[in-house]
Amino acid sequence: MLLPVIFTLLIFPGMFMALIPMMPAIPYMFLMVGIFGYADRFERLTVGNMWVFAGILIASILVDYFAGIIGAKYGGASSKAMMFGFLGLIVGFLLIPPFGGFVGLFVGILIAEFIMKGDSAKAIKAATGSLIGSVSGILINTLLAIVFFGLFISFVFFI
């Protein structure tokens, strides 16, 4: 009974890691679940349970990838501006981790849109859309991490 408690404590921080941009919270949680399953010889977790966790992992990756893009498109950003935003995200994250990515994304799209269109209102709208999309993605991933954790507790202790 000690092994499930230890891994519950190891998986728990994943819910908070999901709140931090660029932090691989759900991949970390999935890795911990896989190690637990192996260490427990898959007595408490079944292959079906692992597929459920894999589905959550895939959903999380898709949310990470598409949330900012959808927000930027909704805000009216061009493809080139999104490329500048992505570059800004990386530079911002490297200079001011972990939240500098938000600033870099916003500034990259803002500058690119302003240079290409010359309209500050449209540039701000596009940059804000990308920011809203990214924040929404973080919130969705946090919910996925909470569901992941709850399912782990349910599968290991109650089913």
Which tens digit of pLDDT belongs to each residue from 18-74? 998 888 999 999 999 999 999 999 999 999 999 999 999 999 999 988 888 889 889
* Percentage above 70 pLDDT, the chain: 100
Q: CA-CA distance, 101 to 95, in Å (whole number)?
A: 9
Q: Six-digit token pair at 123? A: 């540039």
Q: CA-CA distance, 63 to 57, in Å (whole number)?
A: 10
List the one residue out of 26, 35, 11, 6 whose CA is nearest residue 142: 26
Q: Is the pLDDT of residue 82 over 80?
A: yes
**pTM of the entire predicted model:** 0.87
The set of residues, in sequence order, having a beta carbon less than 8 Å from that of 25 and lying 6+ positions away, is 14, 15, 16, 17, 18, 60, 141, 145
How many other C-beta atoms can be found within 10 angstroms of the C-beta atom of residue 16? 12
Q: What is the pLDDT of residue 151?
A: 98
